[in-house]
A and B are shown apart, each in its own frame.
Chain A
Amino acid sequence: MKTIEVKKPSGYFTQIGPAHPALKEPVMFNLDVEGERIIKADFAPGMSHRGIEWMGLRRNCIQVIYLAERICGICGITHSISFVRAVEQIAQIQVPVRAHYIRSIVGELERIHSHLLWAGVAAHELGFDSAFYLAWRVRENVMDLVEYLTGNRVHYAMIQIGGVRRDITREQFPRIEESMKFFDNAYDQLARVFLDDTTVQMRCRDCGVLTYEEARQLCPVGPTARASGIKKDVRVDHPYAGYADLDIEYMTPDRLTGEVRGDVYDRIVVRLLEVKQSIALVRQLLEQMPDGPLLAIPKPAVLLAKLKGAAGEAVGRHEAPRGEVMHYVRLEAGKDEPVSWKVKASSYSNYLSWIPMMEGEQIADIPIIAASIDPCISCTDRVALVQDGNRRVLTKAELHRLSVEKTRRIQASLSAR
């Protein structure tokens, strides 16, 4: 199995992965090193393809919501919101305003828990396990809140095409506010523990730098882009759900530190700032939440019948904790199942920024740099090319050759007629 060709070995060629204790999920890094320094970095994804899209094409739209929820183990609502937004556009279903607000509330709670989970993982990669336990202990509070609101810690099953399935009632508001107060304090504590700590500063400052220009060229999304100073957020740029009514801004590291360096430290800053932002957003959402129905079409059987008649294609987007998620869906009239379903997870856009981040750094920095974009590797893997038992990657030249061959074939068949 050979995925890249090293033309001029500078000194030593090393592979990390696909299964390695330093990596949480299977991905392979191919590194050209000189001593401890990384001269040239490359990576090979596609090690954990699960065929989720294939499963989706054999289920009706209501079943796909719960399948989409299981694409990612952490972003429980991300993929289901993106999928239902695409389907709602195709079937022209108007979502009630209250349902929009509830979607946003659960989405923001998810952002809090995902960023705290990441903070713990990052601390663990640095060998700072006390901060790891601290972040995960704080995170338990939001997990309990989500369980109280939705009925489950991870897979919320809140989203339905045309609205949400469960209400957030006025009796539940005090419990939410109690948690938000807890997170006000927890934010101060975590910001102190992570940002003022000498060890964290020594390991993360000017490590794994992605400059503004590099980020412009590679188009990362979410906190990875914002930590390099790119103002990009689906919630602000193309507001959906309840976000259009909210006071919401791009969270870039200069809001706290006054400068943008695009290093691992800035990515910690952005994620902590977003935890604070999410607390404010949940409060605004609770304050402004209007009364009204939860579902556009309350009866699932009626909804299924309507979707069977719907035809068309649409794209649904959502700002996940890791960045923009995009689902493309195509429905045909008379069919329960989607004819086409394409998922672009946020890490797909962030992968390429690994290369400029890693080059010039030391081998010991790989775990924290790899973790700093918060990669969701199993969510991202969509294609694995296997032929005669060998895995391979189609290069640009090979693709071009295949295209030329096809043109020749068509020309030959035309002239034969």
Chain B
Amino acid sequence: MTFPIVPDLLSSLFKKPNTNPFPAPQLPPTVTGLLDEVNQGKAELNPPVPAPERLRGKMTYNRETCIGCNLCIKVCPAHAIEAIPAVKKVRFYVSQCIQCGQCTEICPKQCLALSGEFLNASHDRYDRSLIVER
């Protein structure tokens, strides 16, 4: 009978956990309660692991340079971009965006980019923070 995993198991007893305890080392009774406490300054969040340089996160949009050519809408695989024909601008729905970054490549004015921001969870799909207009 050989169990070659035993030395690995024993050595693991003396190692720290491999994962980053985010947002708190222990599971709080309620997550919203924890966030309220953080807002009041009573508790602190454990910071997430720093994002890698190339991470594709939330959209950024420069409304001033946009010329309303709608090329980004043509290549968006997720139909996450809506045209506003009256002002010749566009609107991005982050909840629908799959962060492929194809729109940033086709944009002739380079007014689109993907930032490293990745904490985009919300209860509401149409939350103000999940619609990028400017």
Contact = CB atoms under 8 A, between A and B. Distances in A.
A299 B75 CA distance: 12
Given A151-B52, A192-B4, A165 B105 contact: yes
A89 B56 CA distance: 30
Contacts, number: 79
Contacts of A304: 74-75
A301 B73 CA distance: 12
Contact of A152 (B5, B53, B56, B106): B56
B2 interface: yes
Contacts of B101: 151, 157, 165
Contact of A196 (B4, B54, B105): B4
B67 to A, nearest CB: 14
Interface in B95-134: 98-102, 105-106, 108
Interface in A191-219: 192-193, 196-199
B4 A151 contact: no
A63 B77 contact: yes
A152 B4 contact: no
Given A66-B100, A192-B4, A196-B4, A60 B75 contact: yes
Contact of A140 (B4, B18, B76, B108): B18
A157 B104 CA distance: 13
Contacts of A283: none
A409 to B, nearest CB: 41
Interface string B3-39: 1110011000000001000000000000000000000
Interface in A126-162: 130-131, 134, 137, 140, 144, 147-152, 155, 157
B127 to A, nearest CB: 23
Nearest to A65: B77
A62 B8 CA distance: 47
Nearest to A59: B77
Interface residues of A, number: 36
A63 B106 CA distance: 12
B113 to A, nearest CB: 12
Contact of A166 (B1, B54, B98, B99): B54
A130 B2 CA distance: 15
Given A137-B18, A300-B75, A304-B75, A189 B8 contact: yes
Contacts of A152: 55-56, 99
A74 interface: no
A363 interface: no
User: How would you classify the secondary structure of chain B's contact residues: helix, strand, loop or mixed?
Assistant: loop
A197 B3 contact: yes
A151 B2 contact: no
Contact of A197 (B4, B53, B99): B4
Given A130-B9, A137-B18, A151-B55, A198 B102 contact: no
Interface in A303-324: 304
A198 B1 contact: yes
Contacts of A165: 101, 105
A62 B100 CA distance: 11
Given A62-B102, A152-B55, A300-B102, A67 B2 contact: no
Contacts of B56: 151-152, 157
Interface of B: 1-5, 8-9, 18, 52-56, 71, 74-78, 98-102, 105-106, 108
The 4 closest A-B pairs by CB, nearest first: A151-B54, A66-B77, A63-B77, A300-B106
Given A152-B99, A198-B3, A300-B75, 12 more contacts: A62-B77, A63-B102, A64-B77, A140-B18, A144-B52, A157-B102, A197-B5, A198-B2, A300-B106, A301-B71, A301-B106, A304-B75
16 contacts: A66-B77, A66-B102, A70-B98, A130-B8, A134-B8, A150-B54, A151-B56, A152-B99, A165-B101, A196-B4, A197-B3, A197-B4, A198-B1, A300-B102, A304-B74, A304-B75
